Amino acid sequence: MALSIVEGAVAGAVFGELLSAVLEVKDKIFPFNPSLKKLKSTIESIAPVIEEIHKYDEYLDSRKEDLEKLIKLMQEGKELVRKCSKIRWWNSWSKSHYRKKLCELDEAIEQFFKLDLADLMDRDALKISVKVKEMQSQIISSGVTERMEALSAPPQPPEFTVGLNGHVEVLKGRLLNSGVSVIVITAPGGMGKTTLAKMLCWDNEIKDKFGDNIFYLTLSKTPNFKLIAQHLLQHKGAKVREFISDDDAINELSNLLTEIGEKPILLVLDDIWSGSESFLEKLVLPLSDYKILVTSRFAFQKFGNPYYLTPLGNEDATTLLYHSAPLLERDSNIHEDLVRKIVKHCAGFPLALLLVGGSLYQNPEAFSESSVKEWSKGHYTVDSNVGFLDHLENLVDVLETEPIIKECFMDLSLFPEDQHIPVAALVDMWAELYKLDEDGVMAMANIYELHTRNLAAEIVVTRSFSGDMNKNYSDRFVIQHDLLHEVAIKQCSQEPVDMRQRLIIDIIENDPPDWWTNGNKLKVTARILSISTGDKFTPNWCNIEPTEVEVLVLNLQTQNYKLPLFMEKMNKVKVLIVTNYNYSNVEFKNFELIGSLCNLRRMILQKVSVPFFRRLNNLKKLSLFMCDVSRAFERDSHMISDSLRNLMEINVDNCTGVMELMVGLCYSVYLKKLCITNCHKLSALHEQIGNLVNLEVLRLSSCTYLVALPYSIRWLHNLSILDLSGCISLAEFPEDFCRLHSLSILDISDCISLRKLPEDFGELSSLKKLYMMHCTRIWELPSSVMDLENLNVVICDEETAALWEQFKPVLENLKVEVPKS
């Protein structure tokens, strides 16, 4: 048994050989039996320690030199046992001599583990500390660049594709060969250009050639070239600065590409619009193995013969339709002739087929000859997107029977084209507009419904949290196909400006819509107002009265911003969403205007330098993503609690200045949920956190410099969920931690500095679920875990699972789960 424990460990070979030798001769050479039994007992007692040394060898690099003394002892012991087996029964001197040698070996092994190994483990603790610091640095760096890299790394193609493999082979040949540097894939929207580009980026031969130098950029109708350059520089670890102009940015980008030009480079520019030719021309550089792959609705003949992507043939189109609506194959109510008509009317456009399939996914009986005839209104050809948009509108109209799903689809248009839409923003908006549940479960269900119907192209998860912890959704985003975005915008704009339910204002550069400057006061009835502006916008706000607005969405790309004065009249606003897509945080010149939103209940700020909060007495939920909050809570703590007196939930992710935040929040006595994640400079919680007597959820995931929890945490008697995952510097629990008798879910995964669970861990009488993946320094569990009568599930790795196995006979309801990597 002990031999199997140490199999493959450091010194495992000689250790196992010694144990095998002892077991083999122990009962055969009677004169040495007591000494060998003692030696066997010593060897088996140190087996678990040898195994732990093996674990840390993998983590801390090899310690072969440090263990040479132990290895030598094992080798000498093996030779000694071999000699003992050859002693004759009559040789008294040899028996006495070797019996003494066996005792000396046993004492030497014990001495090593008492003294030498103690010194070795002390040095290991230092090495672990160094490793923790290295990991902190890596996590901080990756956390800051995570979403920047996502914007320039090639996205995964869909799991199922049809009719594109032949195109991949042809284009792959062009990319792998020398010669043409610019390849333009052209086709109308919805034909599969983007999917084809993704498939090429993930092709094994393409990856082998271009490696890490595949850059994938999705452009909009009005691309921000300065932001594009910053993303690419960030992705390659180069120095990033603010650019004076687009030309300055393009020159810097050209310099970067030239620097890495010794290696093959593939630059993918997805969805370039007419008017961006000059940008493309400046990126054509005289490098030896540099390719630019462009997808566009426009042919761009000046860059050579474009590659025309053709519609799917009938067979491939039918396959895609059946795949997107599997019920078709099992439902006899839909005749094959009707399927052929659907395929014909979709004219080989993959997007149209996916939308029809999504509509048929759960309700095939709703489709008939009449519905197909209705879809066919507004004929279109593969040479134009105008009729195709009408066709897509007809398909979207199927949602009229499910008004909430239709409204949710329309709401995706409130955010800029080709941008990641934060799920957290959708959850808050829908909770207020449609009275969906507070924790976002129904909102996520609607998002997945849109995805199933192919109305939301993709759901992106940037990080993976424990299932019970992930209710702030800061790691989830939705992407919408640009054509569907156009459809939603078109449907939102059918009524006159003053009668629209969603007023969407997208100011390209500094060119507002005609009605903006007519000089008349415009009273609008919209419930939702979305304003998108770039860094060239001059904030000469129009004269409108948006007094009915309940949700205000501001999409920015700038460092400085002046809020519209008409916010003073928006006393019905319940949700404010400010998303800054610029590289640097935005500074507000008149942030105090937010205090005019007297009924504001939820606020989400992304990439904002947040000034001091004031007069937000009705604010229930505050979410801050990638913000600088150092000034937001710098005033007197009681002033802060007065300004946010009814705050019940705050989510802070990847923000700076969080140490100051903690002081101000400790007097928000109504706070029920406090989530601070990926805030790497947070080293301690304020001792006054014990004032938050109503706190139910505390998430501190991936706060890598957090070294300890305050003693006062024991006063949080209502705390039911505590997430400490990824707190790699956390070394121990505070005294009386186990007084948290309401705690039902605890996550300590990846707390690699944590040495042990508290001795009184069993006093967590309400604990139902425990996550402890990769707690590599916890070698044993306290016996008090036998008192955890309500513990149902432990999610851990194989090594930790072995520690829990011995307690399963006592904890009859316990299930130990080991997830796949």
DSSP one-letter string for 393-445: HHHHGGGGGSHHHHHHHHHGGGS-TTSPEEHHHHHHHHHHHS---TTSHHHHH
Mark whether 10 and 115 lie in a shared domain: yes
* Highest mean pLDDT, choosing among 53-57, 112-116, 149-153, 224-228: 224-228
Contact assessment for residue 203 and residue 172, using Cβ atoms and an 8 Å cutoff: yes
Does residue 474 sit within a domain? Answer: no
Query: What is the DSSP code (8-state) at residue 202?
Result: T
26 or 155: whose pLDDT is higher? 155
CA dihedral 738, 744, 749, 754 (to 10 degrees): 0
Give the C-alpha distances (Å, rounded to integers) separating 359 from 323, 354, 401, 437, 450: 13, 9, 12, 25, 10
Residue 7: what pLDDT?
Answer: 35
CB atoms within 10 A of CB 601: 20
- Measured CA to CA, the distance from residue 339 to residue 357 in angstroms comes to 11
Q: What CATH number does residue 184 fall under? A: 3.40.50.300
Give the tokens for residue 254: 């050209």
Tokens of 578: 């400010």
- Which pair of structure tokens corresponds to residue 617? 């007495």
811 and 692 fall within a common domain? yes
Residue 482: pLDDT band by 50, 70, 90 thresholds? Answer: confident
CATH number of the domain encompassing residue 738: 3.80.10.10
Same domain, residue pair 181 and 304 = yes
Q: Is residue 101 domain-shared with residue 189, that is, in the same domain? A: no
Q: What is the mean pLDDT of residues 525-538?
A: 90
Domain assignment present for 85: yes
Q: Is the pLDDT of residue 160 over 50?
A: yes
The three-state secondary structure class of 642 is: helix
Query: For residue 39, what pLDDT is reported?
Result: 66
The reported pLDDT for the residue numbered 53 is 54
Q: Looking at the domain assignment, is residue 334 inside a domain? A: no
Q: Is 190 exposed, middle or buried (0-12, 13-18, 19+ CB in 10 A)?
A: buried
Q: Which of 137, 157, 192 is the last residue of a domain?
A: 137
pLDDT at 9: 42
Whether pTM exceeds 0.75: yes
Give a yes or no: residue 798 inside a domain.
Answer: yes
Under a CB-based contact definition with an 8 Å cutoff, are residues 266 and 291 in contact? yes
569-589: average pLDDT: 91
Q: Are 748 and 794 in contact (CB under 8 A)?
A: no
Do residues 260 and 236 touch, judged by C-beta distance below 8 A?
Answer: yes
Contacts of 455 (CB under 8 A, 6+ apart): 355, 358, 396, 409, 480, 484
Task: Enter the tokens of residue 123.
Answer: 């040095």
Q: Can you give the pLDDT at residue 343?
A: 85
Residues 591, 560: contact at Cβ < 8 Å?
Answer: no
* Per-residue confidence (pLDDT) for residue 764, from 0 to 100: 95
* Count of all residues that appear for the chain in the document: 821
CA atoms of 211 and 154, how far apart (whole Å): 12
User: What is the per-residue pLDDT across 662-719, written as a single tens digit (0 to 9) for each?
Assistant: 666 777 788 999 999 998 888 888 888 888 889 999 999 999 889 889 999 999 999 9
Q: Is 128 helix (H, G, I), strand (E, B) or coil?
A: helix
- Decide the pairing of beta strands 290-296 and 265-272: parallel
pLDDT exceeds 80 at position 79: no
Whether the CA torsion 342, 346, 350, 355 is positive or negative: it is negative
Residue 186 sits in the same domain as residue 122: no
Token pair of 295 as six digits: 């997808």
Distance between CA 546 and CA 576 in Å, rounded? 14
Based on its alpha-carbon atoms, the radius of gyration of the chain, rounded to whole angstroms, reads 33
Q: Which of 93, 139, 138, 113 is nearest to 52 (CA)?
A: 113
User: Residue 143: pLDDT band by 50, 70, 90 thresholds?
Assistant: very low
SS3 content of the chain, % helix, strand, coil (to 5): 45, 15, 40
Cα–Cα distance between 527 and 550 in angstroms, integer?
A: 5
Pairing verdict, β 421-422 and 476-479: antiparallel
- Return the closest-CA partner of residue 593 out of 569, 619, 557: 569
The answer to whether residues 129 and 10 belong to one domain is yes
Please state, in angstroms and rounded to a whole number, the distance separating the CA atoms of residues 531 and 522.
16
Is 60 exceeded by the pLDDT of residue 146?
A: no
Q: Is residue 667 part of a domain?
A: no
Beta-bridge mates of residue 542: none
Which among 301, 232, 292 is positioned nearest to 267, based on CA atoms?
292
Spatial CA neighbour of 270 closest among 218, 197, 199: 218
The predicted model gives 617-628 an average pLDDT of 92
Structure tokens at 353: 């087929």
**Residue 712 within any structural domain of the chain:** yes
pLDDT score for 5:
33
pLDDT digits (tens, 9 = 90+) for 282-339: 888 888 888 999 999 888 888 888 999 999 999 999 999 888 877 666 555 566 777 8
Residue 337 domain-assigned (yes or no): no
Residues 638-654 have pLDDT tens digits of: 566 677 778 999 999 99
Quick one: average pLDDT of 576-584? 91
Joined together, the tokens standing for residue 329 give: 């194959």
**pLDDT tens digits, residue range 722-744?**
999 999 899 899 989 999 999 99
**Cα of 307 vs its chain's centroid, Å:** 35
Rounded to an integer, what is the distance from CA 272 to the centroid of its chain? Answer: 28
Which residues in 616-644 are b (16+ Cβ under 10 Å) and which e? beebbbbbbbbbbbbebbebebeebbebb
Q: Do the Cβ atoms of 224 and 508 come closer than 8 Å? A: no
For 425-471, write each residue's pLDDT tens digit.
999 999 999 988 777 788 888 998 888 888 887 777 766 555 555 56
Token pair recorded at residue 379: 């004929």
Which DSSP state fits 313? P
Residue 45: both structure tokens together: 């007692």
Q: Nearest Cα to 312, choosing from 166, 412, 457? A: 166
Instruction: Name, in order, each residue with C-beta under 8 angstroms of 211's C-beta and a sequence gap of 6 or more.
Output: 263, 264
Domain boundary (254, 288, 308) is at 308
User: Does 191 share its domain with 233?
Assistant: yes
Q: Which of 137, 155, 184 delimits the end of a domain? A: 137
Angle at 744 between CA 738 and CA 747, to 5 degrees: 80
Whether 2 has a pLDDT exceeding 50, the answer reads no
> Domain range holding 795?
683-821
pLDDT at 48 over 50: yes
pLDDT of residue 554: 95
Greatest pairwise CA separation for the chain in angstroms: 120
Predicted local confidence at residue 382, as pLDDT: 41
Query: What does the DSSP 8-state code read for residue 510?
Result: T
Residue identified by tokens 């989830």 is: 476
Please give the backbone phi and psi of residue 2, each rounded to the nearest 5 degrees, phi first: -65, -35
Measured in Å, how far apart are the chain's first and last C-alpha atoms? Answer: 27
The alpha carbon of residue 797 and the mean position of all alpha carbons in its chain are separated, in whole angstroms, by 21
127 and 184 co-located in one domain:
no
84 in helix, strand or coil? helix
The answer on 696 and 747 residing in a single domain is: yes
Residue 755 included in any domain = yes
pLDDT for position 235: 73
**Separation in Å, CA 171 to CA 179, 268, 308, 309:** 13, 13, 11, 11
What are the start-end ranges of the E strands in 311-403?
none
Residues 302 and 281: their CA atoms lie apart, in Å, by 10
> What confidence tier does 170 reach under pLDDT thresholds 50, 70, 90?
very high
Express as a percent the part of the chain with pLDDT over 90. Answer: 31
Closest to 718 in 3D by CA, of 694, 690, 685: 694
Dump pLDDT digits (tens) for 778-819. 989 999 999 999 999 999 999 899 999 989 889 988 999 998
Whether residue 381 contacts residue 349, with contact meaning beta carbons closer than 8 Å, is answered with: no
751 and 689 both lie in a single domain: yes
The total number of structural domains that make up the chain: 3
Question: Mean pLDDT across the chain, nearest whole number?
Answer: 80
Q: How many Å apart are CA 279 and CA 217, to the nearest integer?
A: 13
Cα–Cα distance measured from residue 780 to residue 777, given in angstroms and rounded to the nearest whole number: 9
Coil, strand, or helix at residue 648? coil
Q: Is the pLDDT of residue 765 over 90?
A: yes
Shared domain for 304 and 169, answered yes or no, is: yes
Answer yes or no: are the C-beta atoms of 780 and 803 closer than 8 Å. Answer: yes
Query: Which element (helix H / strand E) includes 308?
Result: strand 307-308
Instruction: Write out the two tokens for 791.
Output: 């513990």
**pLDDT above 80 for 66:** no
CA distance 755 to 131: 15
Angle between helices 403-411 and 423-433 (to 10 degrees): 130
Count of CB atoms situated within 10 Å of the CB of 267:
24
171 shares its domain with 304 = yes
The residue whose two tokens read 């101000």 is 664
User: Which strands make up the sheet holding 560-561, listed edge to edge?
Assistant: 560-561, 586-588, 608-609
Asked if residue 397 has pLDDT above 90, the reply is no
Q: How many CA atoms lie within 13 A of 475 on its CB side?
A: 16
